[in-house]
């Protein structure tokens, strides 16, 4: 499923992506990738959700597929086709939330994503309502987006009681 998602993302971005202006979106595409990397780093021992590898060998490679292919493709499609007019912008954002929500629902049904520690599909959809506007905010006001992103991260870490430190018995001993 994950490789199929990447292939569909590549095809979609080749057809509908704003390739001529990719440099305009570059920083926000990196911001999108950074968000996934931060999640994987901070929750490495306490995943709220985890993509189960299909025929890719492990979780790390699956996440790299999303970080470096699916999410940048999504960002280019979302930002490159962002309409003018408030109502069209709201509908555009809702369209992407719906696409991601349905796709994740399919992943839950097929067992390609697992939730734990209180995370659910509902929380994922709530996060999508933050993620897509945050991408647009980063495109327009990057520094504000970084502050909001940090606050959202801290909020989720606190809400789900995510331990962001290694327990003492798992900390490496560097010759002490």
pLDDT tens-digit readout, 9-31: 999 999 999 988 999 999 999 99
| Arithmetic mean of pLDDT, 36-46 | 91
- Quickly state the pLDDT bin for 80 (edges 50, 70, 90): very high
- What's the confidence (pLDDT) of residue 36? 94
Give the closest residue to 16 by CA, choosing from 66, 101, 79, 95.
79
- What's the confidence (pLDDT) of residue 60? 84
Residue with the two structure tokens 């506007």: 133
Residue with the two structure tokens 């555009």: 92
SS3 track for the chain: CHHHHHHHHHHHHHHHCCHHHHHHHHHHHHHHHHHHHHHHHHCCCCCCEEECCCCCCCHHHHHHHHHHHHHHHHHHHHHHCCCCCHHHHHHHHHHHHHHHHHHHHHHHHHCCEEECCCCCHHHHHHHHHHHHHHHHHHHHCHHHHHHHHHHHHHHHHHHCCCCCCCCHHHCCCCCC
> In sequence order, what are the residues at sequence separation of 6 or more whose Cβ sits closer than 8 angstroms to the Cβ of residue 29?
71, 72, 75, 76
Please determine, for residue 167, whether its predicted confidence score (pLDDT) is greater than 80.
Answer: no
């Amino acid at each position: 499923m994950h490789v199929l998602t990447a292939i569909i993302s590549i095809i979609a971005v080749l057809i509908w992506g704003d390739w001529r202006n990719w440099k305009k979106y570059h920083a926000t595409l990196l911001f999108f990738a950074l968000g996934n990397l931060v999640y994987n780093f901070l929750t490495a021992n306490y995943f709220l959700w985890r993509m189960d590898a299909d025929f890719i060998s492990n979780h790390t490679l699956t996440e790299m597929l999303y970080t470096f292919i699916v999410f940048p493709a999504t960002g280019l499609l979302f930002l490159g086709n962002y309409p003018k007019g408030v109502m069209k912008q709201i509908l555009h954002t809702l369209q992407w939330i719906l696409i991601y929500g349905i796709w994740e629902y399919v992943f839950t049904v097929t067992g390609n994503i697992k939730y734990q520690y209180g995370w659910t599909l509902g929380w994922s959809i709530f996060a999508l309502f933050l993620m897509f506007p945050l991408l647009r905010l980063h495109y327009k006001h990057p520094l504000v987006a970084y502050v909001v992103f940090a606050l959202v991260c801290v909020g989720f870490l606190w809400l789900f009681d995510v331990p962001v430190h290694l327990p003492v018995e798992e900390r490496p001993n560097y010759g002490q």
